[in-house]
Amino acid sequence: MPDRTPYSLARPTRYLQSLLAHSAAGGVILMITAALAILVANSPLADLYQRTLASYVGGLSVLHWINDGLMAVFFLLVGLEIKREVLEGELSSWPRRILPGSAALGGMIGPALIYLAFNLGPTGHPSGWAIPAATDIAFALGVLSLLGPRVPVSLRVFLMALAIIDDLGAVVIIALFYTTSLDAVALGGAGLVTLALIALNRVGVNRLLPYIALGALLWLLVLLSGIHATLAGVILAFTVPLRTRSTPDAGSPLLTMEHGIQPWVTFLIVPVFGFANAGVSFAGMSLSALMEPVPLGVALGLFVGKQLGVFLTSAAVIALGLATLPAQATWKQMYGLAALCGIGFTMSLFIGLLAFPDSAPLQDQLKLGVLAGSLISTLLAVLLLRSRQPAG
């Protein structure tokens, strides 16, 4: 049951702990569903699996409903988390933003450069440059949860802040680089609905039903406009008020919505997305398949680009005196956390499907790269983080 007690500024730690617990548990479930998808895709059920995802319901395929419909709710949660953290959480001031912000930026640039290094040639596919640039927060926190008290709380908070900025970067990338043709009428309608949502916020409406109703209309218009429909979730999130001036103690609309949808996203939507999109068939595939430009660029982007981008940028910011190492953390643990950021499962798969929407072979290749890069990143991170901190 979501927490429905009145919102208080004295409770940000409780909400952060709740979010970390949900994400950690969800990460374990996501691992299980991803493994199950791979098993099904390589079993006698593979044909049924593919036909079910390709079947049409209400004018869209099941896979389309999952990736454009259910994932809009995932992006709604992402947007709510970003807004909350920026207004009064771990990203509420510039000193708090510098270290995770710099690490997130380095962690997006590094993987993109490595991917492009393998895909700028005549046989490459440069449009997938953003695939390894994202971190899967649920998966990463799931791994951290298995390590227990070996990892200081400060590193968990740092990872959470980094991943939130990383998600914001992914949203911007999707909006700017993976939007093709635009329908001016639908886009104009989406703009008008957005203005109506902003008006609700400005006049202090704290009931969620008007926001949800307009949000559903916004999703439909964004879908028809040519912009990816999931971005409607982020737009809606940014218009939901954290609290209203008229009734500041009556409860937070943003937190009510966040805690209401969080279990559904964590325990249903993200696992369903993982099951629908992680099923790559290994039939007729050899290890040489990893040497193709797309899977090699994705795997090395996640494994090498992420850890170097996050760690080197963080080290530079700390060396310049702009930030300090997270409390009670060692440099070895910091590097382990940087390696953990190479788990790009959910968002990497999502961006990959946008990069190669009409090519099943390339989709299989990117899935192979995401799985390989995420797996070896996980193994390295566990090796580095499993050792206990030195006494004192």
**pLDDT, position 5:** 45
**pLDDT, position 7:** 46
Residue 273 lies in a domain: yes
Q: What are phi and psi of 56, to 5 degrees?
A: -100, 140
**pLDDT, position 288:** 76
Q: Which residues of the chain have pLDDT under 70?
A: 1-24, 244-250, 284, 387-392
Residue 38 lies in a domain: no
DSSP 131-179: GGG---HHHHHHHHHHHGGGS-HHHHHHHHHHHHHHHHHHHHHHHHHS-
User: CA of 220: how far to CAs of 89, 131, 178, 250, 342, in Å?
Assistant: 32, 26, 18, 31, 33
Residues 90 and 15: beta-carbon distance below 8 Å: no
Six-digit token string for 389:
């901190």
**CATH number of the structural domain spanning residue 177:** 1.20.1530.10
pLDDT tens-digit map of 325-342:
988 889 999 999 999 999
Six-digit token string for 218:
């916004």
**pLDDT, position 21:** 56
Residue 185 lies in a domain: yes
Residue 49 lies in a domain: no
Q: Is the pTM of this model over 0.75?
A: yes
Residue 44 lies in a domain: no
Residues 6+ apart with CB under 8 A from 53: 61, 62, 63, 66, 276
Residue 9 lies in a domain: no
CA atoms within 13 A on the CB side of 129: 15
CA atoms within 13 A on the CB side of 390: 4
pLDDT tens-digit map of 278-311:
888 877 677 777 889 999 999 999 999 999 999 9
Residue 128 lies in a domain: yes
**pLDDT, position 2:** 46
Q: How many domains does the chain have?
A: 1
pLDDT tens-digit map of 40-62:
999 999 999 999 999 999 888 99
Residues 369 and 296: beta-carbon distance below 8 Å: yes
The residue range of the domain holding 275 is 60-386
Residue 15 lies in a domain: no
